[in-house]
Amino acid sequence: MPKHQGGLGKPIAFRLTPADREAYLAKVAESGLTQSEFFRQAVLTNKTKVIARPKASVDRKRMLQIFAKTSNNINQIAHRANSDHLQGKLSEATYDQLLYQLQIIARYLKTSLNHAD
């Protein structure tokens, strides 16, 4: 590949599963290029096929917003309940019931999010 005018800029990073990483590195090795050269050649010369995810509907976007806010609140409630339980301010039965209710809410939110579109 030709030298880049003005040098290269900032790096781009991405994560892969262990299996995908192995496959990626095998392809890089077969190409005889560096990882950066391989990535630039594959992406910038359009030697990849990108299938865009469908845009989220208004319902799904709203559910994601509600899910994010609610999950934060659930985490705060669970943290407080655990702290109170450890300090002896919350009975074992109440603690168990609260955790059970939080799990039900979490399952409901996940199910609702999966059915938003």
pLDDT, tens digit, for every residue of 1-58?
455 566 778 888 889 999 999 988 988 888 888 888 888 888 888 766 555 567 778 8
Same-domain check for residues 47 and 62:
no
Q: Report the length, in residues, of the chain.
A: 117
Reduced to 3 states (helix: H, G, I; strand: E, B; else coil), residue 42 is helix
Q: What pLDDT, on a 0 to 100 scale, did the predictor assign at position 1?
A: 47
Asked if residue 87 belongs to a domain, the reply is: yes
Q: How big is the CA angle at 75 (ends 73 and 64), to the nearest 5 degrees?
A: 60
Percent of the chain with pLDDT over 70: 87
Would residue 3 count as lying in a domain? no
Nearest Cα residue to 116 out of 61, 70, 71: 61
Is 6 part of any domain?
A: no
Question: In whole numbers, what is the pLDDT of the chain averaged over residues?
Answer: 81
* Whether residues 75 and 43 fall in one domain: no
Q: What residue numbers bound the domain in which 93 lies?
A: 58-114
Residue 4 domain-assigned? no
Q: How many domains are contained in the chain?
A: 2
